[in-house]
Chain A
Amino acid sequence: MSEYSIVNLHQSCLIQLPTNLTEAEANNYQELINQLYKKDVANKRIVFDFSQTEYIDSKSISVLLSIVKTAKKEQVDITFWSVCHQVELQLSSASPELIYNIEAGTEFLAMNSQPSKNFIQEITPIIQAIATRLDWKNLWSEKVQASADFHE
């Protein structure tokens, strides 16, 4: 869980969920939320960022439901952002009430974390030109430095 970011800004907290949310990780998040509730200045809003989440198992959904119910008792708002269609279907089939926590208007662009080796050749020519100039700048800087080192 620690590899994913938790951001506190003003009195709101953003928690990014992992690509595959399994029961063990969901329990870790529940423990994290419980610790947040114990703080003197509690977050009034907690947002779960699903932009990286592609799969969630049924046990995790149960844990999420428990988190949402506890949040209501603690008067904390729980919201889900950027839920992809597949995860939304999983949520709606297992616990339809969780759908109401999904905030509309938070659609995201899913990007591969590692671009393909042929990425530069596959993209629009004008973008290729920009990318090439960026590489040229770096190569030129290396050559200038190498020349300076030679003359010293």
Chain B
Amino acid sequence: MILVTVGTEKFPFDRLMRWIDALIRQGFLQLEQEDIVIQCGTCNFLPGGVKAYSLLPEEQFRTLINQSRLIIGHCGEGTINILEEISKPYILVPRSYRFKEHVDDHQVELAEVLRQIGIPIAWSPGDLVRFLASPRHVPYSVAPGSKMTSLCQLLEERFGQINS
């Protein structure tokens, strides 16, 4: 099963939906061989033959991630935070201000930063096809590492929590 997720932005991400539709029509995605599940948010266009959910409870979303073979996601921080915890192959598609998919181009900027460390990014539907032919998982994390967590705990013990 392939999972496609576009997050919960108020802006639709119809461009990605049309890419998926093009991949299905050209035979790069075979619905008779593999299910495609889309968390579609506010998208106005949906490819034919897919299972679509506008929003999903987190538990169900994580279940779908665990069941999926690979994931195609928008380049949102929330999605990235979830995907960095898993070992499934995934590719990110940035929303663009130019196509009225977000308020600015911060996802494009983030995608460029992630591309430089080897995270698969799709700038075109052809990039999705190339990823499908050779899916790969690139481990990384933007969260502070365990050493920073230890430092935070030390600081809390020394100075107490901020809220106390």
Decide if A and B are genuine partners: yes
Residues of A at the B interface (CB closer than 8 Å) are: 5, 7-12, 14, 16, 44-45, 47, 49, 51, 77, 79, 81-82, 103-111, 115, 119, 123-124, 126-127, 130-131, 133-134, 137, 140
Given contacts A108-B125, A127-B106, 20 further A-B contacts (CB under 8 A): A7-B133, A11-B27, A14-B28, A14-B126, A14-B129, A16-B126, A45-B27, A47-B126, A49-B129, A77-B26, A105-B15, A105-B19, A106-B18, A108-B124, A115-B116, A123-B106, A123-B113, A124-B104, A127-B109, A134-B113
Are A81 and B106 closer than 8 Å at their CB atoms? no
Taking the nearest CB of chain A, how far is it from the CB of B2, in angstroms?
13
> Do residues A130 and B142 form an inter-chain contact, with CB atoms below 8 A?
yes
The answer, among A109, A123, A124, A127, for a CB contact under 8 Å with B123, is: A109
Query: How many A-B Cβ pairs are below 8 Å?
Result: 104
B53 at interface by CB-CB < 8 Å: no
Closest B residue, CB atoms, query A11: B27
Interface centre among B25, B125, B141 (most CB of A within 10 A): B125
Chain B interface residues toward A at CB < 8 A = 15, 18-19, 21-22, 25-28, 30, 94, 96, 98-99, 104-106, 108-110, 112-113, 116-117, 123-127, 129-130, 132-133, 140-142, 144-145, 147
